[in-house]
Amino acid sequence: MRFATDATLGKLGRHLRAAGFDTVCQHERGTHIFFNALETDRIILTRTVKVQVRYKHRPLLFIRDNDPIEQMIQVFKDLNIGPADINPFSRCLICNLEITPIEKQYLQGKVPVFIWQHHQKFYICNSCKRIYWSGSHHRRLTQRFETLFKIKDG
């Protein structure tokens, strides 16, 4: 599944990327050019009635809640997304491109010394060059995804 979020759903867009979904995000309010330019197979996620009406002919999910966690629960429930459908931490949170493994030896001096000493696996975005590793943020999001699926199924 591929998504497009409007400006009202920035956190949801980042959470979907963290779950491994190809998600493009609109960062400016009020521009309809964004959705017109997108591939038609992307599911538009919005909280804006005008967007819902204007793009009713496209795959679209109207998000009801203001809380990003509740929004994720709705997306997972309404689109029947299960644990097997996600690929956490496989996309750059900034660029939305897939990240790739990089050997630790190339990162000395490019990540904090403590991180370099205590982690063995690293990933990089080949576009923006952002470096990723499994730290506390990774553990928190993994627990959040596990909790979301329990809530979704409960």
Average pLDDT over residues 1-19: 91
Whether 139 is in a domain gets the answer: no
The residue among 103, 100, 8 whose CA lies nearest residue 61 is: 8
Examine residue 23 and state whether it is found in any structural domain, yes or no.
yes
Is residue 141, in this structure, part of any structural domain at all?
A: no
What pLDDT shows up at residue 6? Answer: 86
Using CA atoms, how far apart are residues 99 and 92, in angstroms rounded to an integer?
A: 6
User: 0.75 exceeded by the pTM?
Assistant: yes
Q: Rounded mean pLDDT of the chain?
A: 87
Q: Verify that 27 and 74 share a domain, yes or no.
A: yes
What are the b/e assignments for 32-71, b being 16+ CB within 10 Å?
eebbeebeeebbbbbbbeebbebbeebbbbebeeeebeeb
Residue 40 located in a structural domain: yes
Structure tokens at 40: 């038609």
Total domains present in the chain: 2
Domain membership of residue 27 (yes or no) is yes
Whether pLDDT at 67 is above 80: yes
Domain shared by 68 and 103, yes or no: no
- Would you list the DSSP string of 56-84? TTS-EEE---SSHHHHHHHHHHHTT--GG
Taking residues 1-5, what's their average pLDDT?
Answer: 92
Q: Report the SS3 class of residue 123.
A: strand
41 lies in the same domain as 66:
yes
Residues 106, 66 share a domain: no
Burial class (CB in 10 A: 0-12, 13-18, 19+), 21: buried
Residue 10 included in any domain? yes
Residues 74, 113, single domain; the answer is no
Instruction: Supply the pLDDT for residue 102.
Output: 96
Residues 70 and 18 in one domain: yes
Residues 21 and 45 in one domain: yes
**14 in the same domain as 72:** yes
Do 16 and 74 fall within a single domain?
yes
CA atoms of 1 and 74, how far apart (whole Å)? 15
Instruction: Domain of residue 128: give its range.
Output: 99-133
Same domain, 125 and 75: no
Mean pLDDT score, 31-50: 80
- Residue 92 maps to a domain: no
Residues 38 and 64 in one domain: yes
Return the bridge partners of 2, or none: 22
